[in-house]
């Protein structure tokens, strides 16, 4: 068994769990969470399930004391919670910190310390939450997607959005999301019908979510899915509710605009 908050999971946790799963025949990872913590427990569970599909991940939501000095029956409280959530005897406890010894003892298990975890991967959940960009290299892809700051470059066609988006990404050493509609429509000779719009909207969002796992702390987006409902209203006089649901949220939106001149 491995017990942790994983708030968020980082490369140190990945080393710990990979060590444990290679040592043990079967591994259970217990994600402990409390109400009101800065990262929701169900999200952390989904991260761990994605990162380690080959291990058994369970979610412990008991409001247990977090330190031995907080309750005289601290270890027995945790023993009851863990035996219930794991559902079978624990033979081995893996940890990179000293609490692993007494926890293993109360569970009647053997403690296997994962030595050097902190020195090999010098990062912590607190440091990451305080400044994700400073610890970016220690974040696995799904956690990067959570912390990345997204910048949308929005505006009419032929105003230089793509050029600006690409140059911003180059300047900040990160990735950018191209406008999906351009390639889709060019392949069809520029013609567009209502059935195209849900495909364009969904594909734009999919590209953004995929690249959010690979980029640096900033991700620049050439337009965003909110453009598709606008075009639907403009071209066809109506908008599929599916298009409205796909609209994303951005930390910053830059509006690229060009003023038309009356030459008459």
Q: Is the pLDDT of residue 198 over 90?
A: no
Average pLDDT over residues 219-226: 85
> How, if at all, do strands 92-95 and 149-154 pair?
unpaired
Give the containing element (helix H, strand E) for 228: helix 227-236
- Angstrom CA distances, 139 to 40, 95, 131, 160, stand at 17, 20, 12, 33
Average pLDDT over residues 72-83: 97
pLDDT confidence band for 263 (50 / 70 / 90): very low
pLDDT of residue 57: 98
Residue of higher predicted confidence among 218 and 244:
218
Q: Is the pLDDT of residue 160 over 80?
A: yes
Average pLDDT over residues 47-55: 97
pLDDT of residue 242: 64
Residue of higher predicted confidence among 185 and 220:
220
Q: Which CATH number fits domain 2-130: 3.20.20.20, 3.40.605.10, 3.40.50.620, 3.40.190.10?
A: 3.40.50.620
Average pLDDT over residues 69-81: 96
**Structural domain boundaries of the chain?**
2-130, 148-255
Report DSSP state, residue 260: P
pLDDT tens sequence across 87-110: 999 999 999 988 999 999 999 999
**In percent, how much of the chain has pLDDT > 90?**
67
Instruction: Specify whether the CB–CB gap between 67 and 74 falls below 8 A.
Output: yes
Among the residue ranges 94-103, 144-153, 195-204, the one predicted with the least confidence is 195-204
Q: Which CATH number fits domain 148-255: 3.30.930.10, 3.40.50.300, 3.70.10.10, 3.50.50.60?
A: 3.40.50.300
pLDDT of residue 241: 63
pLDDT of residue 34: 97
pLDDT confidence band for 232 (50 / 70 / 90): low
Average pLDDT over residues 71-100: 96
Rounded Cα gap, residues 48 and 30, in angstroms: 10
Q: At a CB cut-off of 8 Å and minimum separation 6, what does 55 contact?
A: 17, 21, 27, 28, 29
**Helix, strand, coil distribution of the chain in percent, nearest 5:** 45, 15, 40
pLDDT of residue 243: 55
Mean pLDDT of the chain: 89
Among the residue ranges 6-20, 75-89, 189-203, the one predicted with the least confidence is 189-203
Instruction: Specify whether the CB–CB gap between 114 and 14 falls below 8 A.
Output: no
Residue of higher predicted confidence among 74 and 192:
74
Domains 2-130 and 148-255 share a fold: yes
Q: Is the pLDDT of residue 61 over 80?
A: yes
């Amino acid at each position: 068994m491995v017990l942790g908050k994983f708030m968020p999971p980082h490369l140190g946790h990945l080393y710990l769990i990979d060590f444990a799963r290679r040592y043990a025949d079967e591994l259970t990872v217990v994600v402990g969470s409390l109400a009101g913590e800065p990262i929701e427990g169900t999200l952390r569970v989904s991260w761990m399930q994605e990162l380690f599909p080959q291990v058994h991940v369970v979610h412990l939501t008991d409001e247990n004391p977090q330190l031995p000095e907080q309750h005289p029956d601290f270890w027995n409280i945790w023993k009851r919670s863990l035996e219930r959530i794991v559902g079978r005897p624990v033979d081995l406890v893996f940890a990179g910190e000293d609490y692993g010894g007494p926890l293993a003892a109360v569970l009647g298990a053997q403690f296997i310390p994962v030595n050097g975890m902190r020195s090999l991967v010098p990062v912590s959940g607190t440091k990451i939450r305080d400044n994700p960009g400073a610890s970016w290299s220690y974040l696995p892809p799904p956690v990067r997607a959570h912390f990345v700051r997204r910048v949308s470059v929005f505006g009419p066609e032929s105003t230089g959005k793509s050029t600006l988006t690409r140059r911003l990404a180059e300047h900040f050493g990160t990735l950018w999301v191209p406008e999906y509609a351009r390639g889709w429509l060019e392949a069809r000779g520029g013609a567009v019908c209502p059935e195209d719009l849900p495909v364009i909207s969904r594909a734009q969002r999919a590209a953004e979510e995929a690249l959010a796992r690979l980029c640096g702390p900033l991700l620049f987006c050439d337009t965003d899915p909110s453009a598709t409902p606008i075009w639907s209203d403009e071209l066809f006089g109506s908008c599929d509710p599916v298009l409205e649901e796909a609209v994303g949220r951005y930390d910053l939106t830059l509006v690229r605009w060009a003023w038309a001149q009356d030459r008459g």
